[in-house]
Structure 1
Amino acid sequence: MSRKDNCLDNAPMESFFGHMKDELDYKYPQIFESLELNIKDYKYNRYQWTLKNG
């Protein structure tokens, strides 16, 4: 995680993911689609543990 109000901390990662998306999207579209589907599935469809107070 970057520090607040310091956009230069995120620059290398933003650059890396931007290049990765470009290359996967154009060279290997099926890999990009599979990766995108797996990320969405992980974010929205996995079991969410809840903490109970009391």
Structure 2
Amino acid sequence: MTLELRNRGFVVNHKKVQRLMKVLGLTARIRRKRKYSSYQGEVGKKADNLIQRQFEATKPMQKCYTDVTEFAIPASSQNT
């Protein structure tokens, strides 16, 4: 409110504006902060299915597999 008054050419102290707003029963609309999310859609790419469920190999170390699982942990339970 004070900035808008100054932009319109009025020289007024912010405390004066607060007092006048209180007398007139005006309140500022408070915008809620958005929760931060780093997710930006599809991240990475899906690997091709090269194995086609044929898990048996004729030699050791011929086929090696891995898997990644991600899950959220509440911040309050990370007290270690």
TM-score class normalised by the smaller sequence? under 0.3
Structure with more helix by fraction: 1
TM-score using structure 1 length: 0.23
Larger radius of gyration, structure 1 or 2?
Answer: 2
